[in-house]
Structure 1
């Protein structure tokens, strides 16, 4: 896609700090460096996000993830890591070419917040929602 910054990085039109590349995926350091080593893993095929990704592309992309995460952890010495994928603007996606963030974490209370709220579950509602989702998976 002509205006996609990640497509331009993949094509070599924009410089990047590449950490991995094969015929189908590329990984490079995020210019924001939320933490030291913050890396993006992208498919070379332009696809908006996981919601529009084929099973083949997803299989290829996510198959590379463990090897890349282990290499990043070893190279940085980070004891932990967040692996994050945002899909659409409301969820925080700002570049509309599928990508996975690997964010090394070095210490607790580092100012990075990823929070989930908890409350007493409504098991009946959860069961109904699970049934609805299952029907869509099988559709």
Structure 2
């Protein structure tokens, strides 16, 4: 497996070199709005640890990270009154990964509403509204 490259877009977001719409942040993880959402409310949860993918993240970080994924998922479901959620996580190009920093996609889902095709940029103001909507219902993380 190739080495982790700290200059990937999520590394830059973690270092505040690139702006993002933050949903949640602590010493383990950052949750942000996906700028090319496949569903309303599409959120990414990324570890602060430099990990290329699921196969090289430390087990300690992974255990704590998945707790944050669940925490954000609960807020997402509530904020968007979703019928369900889809969780995606890709590893290496053959597995569909295009940004080589571990991340989990959380997508609210509704009966009869298909996912949008990938690759369309969202309106920045709309992302800001959605981020605020999620933050407004998020409870404090209890670990």
- Which TM-score bucket, shorter chain as reference? 0.7 to 0.9
- Aligned equivalent of 1:83: 87
1:2 CA drift (Å)? 4.0
Equivalent in 55, 61, 74 of residue 59 of structure 2? 55
TM-score by length of 1: 0.76
2:50 paired with 1:46: yes
Contact 2:39-2:116 at 8 Å conserved across structures? no
- 1:12 pairs, out of 13, 16, 28, with 16
Runs of 4+ in 1 over 6 A off after TM superposition: none
> What secondary structure is seen at the aligned counterpart in 2 of 1:62?
helix
Which structure carries more relative contact order (alpha carbon 8 Å, separation 6+)? Answer: 2
Higher helix share: 1
Q: CA deviation at 1:112?
A: 5.9
Q: How far did 1:45 drift?
A: 1.2
SS at 1:103 equivalent: strand
For structure 2, the residue ranges without an aligned partner over 5 or more in a row are: 118-143
Return the offset for 1:111: 4.9
* Residues 1:54 and 1:68: Cα distance change in structure 2 (over 3 Å): same
- 1:125 aligned partner: none
Equivalents in 1 of 2:37, 2:116: separation in Å?
Answer: 12
**Structure 1: gaps of 5 or more residues:** 114-139
Q: Aligned residues, how many?
A: 113
Counterpart in 2 of 1:66? 70
C-alpha distance in structure 1 between counterparts of 2:18 and 2:112, whole Å: 35
CA distance in 1, matches of 2:12, 2:64: 21
The question of 1:108 aligning with 2:112 is answered yes
Offset at 1:33?
0.9
Backbone CA RMSD of aligned residues? 1.6
Secondary structure, aligned partner of 1:47: coil
